[in-house]
Structure 1
Amino acid sequence: MYLRLWGDGVQGRADAASDFEIALGAECGRAAMMSLDRLCSLCAHHGRRPLIRHGLECSCLGADENCFAQMIAAASEGSREDAMMMASLIVRPDFAPALASLSEELGLALRRMTAPVPLPTTGHQPPAALLH
């Protein structure tokens, strides 16, 4: 979705930045948006070919979008070799390490956005069964 938003122009990028800021706070949100911007710019300027993306409302997942998402997921999980392999499919080989590194940055931010918020620990244990 963020690849699609970035490619949609100024308003799409503003929407992505807003999502990041809401979920991660101002400073981390700006850092995540900078990672997305650098990642997508690198693909746009040094890609083997233009990435094909679907429209914002489309429920399809294109091959390029899938490769992009899988690269980010692999990088954020620590599978750097896999991320490098996918990056080399997207950009020239000399830019693949930078793309994999940016993928890790963005992937970790996305993981923070979807991580469950821990409940405060009071030491209190709820009863085994609770009635109205």
Structure 2
Amino acid sequence: MKGSHPVGQLTDLDPAGRVAVAAFRGDGRELCPAPLRDLCALCARHGRRPLACHGAGCPCLGGDEACFARLIELAAGGEQEEALMLAMLLVRADLAPLAVALAQQAALALRRGPAAPSGTIH
């Protein structure tokens, strides 16, 4: 399947990238920050083609997964044009700016660490 060919290992990613790929795969998504869940949903609903993921326990990093993790990394670093180009590989072009905005928010949330349960003050 397109996008599923291994391009690396999960260990190649930083911790935030591993969390992002786990969410992209659907593993523990309900525990992830809302912007990351929203970005995953956007990719699933409006992907340019069906996006491919490896299984939850697989140590491989597929092409689509690597693109997703890199999108978040670039958006976090303020590299808007590069992030936009990657977003256009994942979702329809008209939704790519939204994907970049969600990726920025997701990156910020991932940097803050685990979300507190509802009703809890940090």
TM-score by length of 2: 0.70
2-structure distance, mates of 1:84, 1:46? 15
Work out which structure has the larger RCO, using CA pairs closer than 8 Å and 6 or more positions apart in sequence: 2
1:100 aligns to 2:100 (yes or no): yes
- Residue 85 of structure 2 is aligned to residue 85 of structure 1: yes
Deviations 1:33-86 (CA, angstroms, capped at 9, x unpaired): x21221011111111012111111111000100000000000001111111000
Aligned residues: 96
For the aligned residues, what is the CA RMSD?
2.0
Stretches of structure 1 lacking an aligned partner (at least 5 in a row): 21-31, 115-132
Are residues 70 and 2 of structure 1, via their aligned partners in 2, closer, same or farther at CA, if it must alter by over 3 Å? closer
Relative to the length of structure 1, the TM-score reads: 0.65
Q: After the TM superposition, which segments of 4 or more aligned residues of structure 1 sit over 6 Å from their partners?
A: none
What secondary structure, in the 3-state scheme, does the structure 2 residue paired with 1:61 have? strand
Q: Which has the higher helix share?
A: 1
Q: Which has the higher strand share?
A: 2
**Gapped regions of structure 2 (runs ≥ 5):** 1-18, 115-122
Note if 1:13 corresponds to 2:5: no
Radius of gyration: which is bigger?
1
Q: Quote the Cα distance in structure 1 between the aligned partners of 2:77 and 2:24.
A: 23
